[in-house]
Copies of this chain bind each other. A is one copy, B any other.
């Protein structure tokens, strides 16, 4: 479930520094030393955020930014040397979401990364950060609790995350592979029947609680959290 960050930076020292701090905070970091490599890496990795140096060999940061923006809305933070003229306006016109002036304070960079991701909804201020309310059911990802009929029910993280994911988009069907990707993580390789077992355990906790919603199987497709519109 960890977020991927693409760092496009030709100065190996800075790149390394960024990598160290980002990885410590749980990001998966991929580096690219020039614009072309950056674009390539972007398309392969589809990262959640891009840190992009302006001064790059061959293809500069602005071009990369524009290329990315042509097809993606992935948040981009520009890294700029102090001398380089830039005003926020032109930066924003190019489609950057934020920019940081070198030489920068690592603390600032990390804070900005989190801030931008938060702003893009990809990351919440807290671990999960959201609550969902249904009839006799509360899914609280902030406290990591499942409340059924006003009673707190113990549920392991995976089960909660799965239920939260399903209930985040009521009535929408998710295939097992989608769920594995989105709940377990893109890098999970395992039997898709694993989902079945978690669904089963969820049902044990949720059966017969309310008439207005249910975890339903869509034969041949997957699962959905069905909510009846009364």
Report which A residues bind B (CB closer than 8 A).
21, 24-26, 35-37, 39-40, 43-44, 58-59, 67, 70-71, 87-89, 100-101, 106-108, 110-112, 115, 118-119, 126-128, 142-144, 156-158, 169, 171-175, 177-178, 181, 186-187, 189, 218-222, 224, 226
Contacts and interface: CB of A to CB of B under 8 A. Distances in A.
A128 B144 CA distance: 29
Given A88-B58, A127-B173, A177-B25, A186 B142 contact: no
A173 B142 contact: yes
Contacts of A39: 88
Contacts of A37: 87-88
A40 B89 CA distance: 12
A161 to B, nearest CB: 10
Contacts of A142: 171-173
Contact of A186 (B87, B107, B173): B107
Nearest to A190: B24
A42 to B, nearest CB: 10
A193 B187 CA distance: 25
A169 B108 CA distance: 24
A143 B221 CA distance: 10
A189 B24 contact: yes
A221 to B, nearest CB: 6
Given A143-B172, A157-B220, A189-B24, A58 B89 contact: yes
A173 B106 contact: no
A143 B224 contact: yes
A36 B87 CA distance: 7
Given A58-B89, A71-B111, 15 more contacts: A24-B189, A36-B87, A36-B88, A39-B88, A40-B101, A70-B119, A71-B108, A107-B187, A111-B186, A126-B173, A142-B173, A143-B224, A144-B218, A157-B219, A157-B220
A109 to B, nearest CB: 10
B106 A187 contact: yes
A156 B172 CA distance: 16
B107 A70 contact: no
Contacts of A178: 127
27 contacts: A21-B187, A24-B177, A25-B177, A26-B177, A37-B88, A43-B101, A43-B108, A58-B89, A59-B88, A70-B111, A70-B115, A110-B186, A111-B186, A126-B172, A126-B173, A126-B174, A127-B222, A142-B172, A142-B173, A143-B171, A143-B172, A143-B173, A144-B218, A156-B219, A156-B220, A157-B218, A157-B221
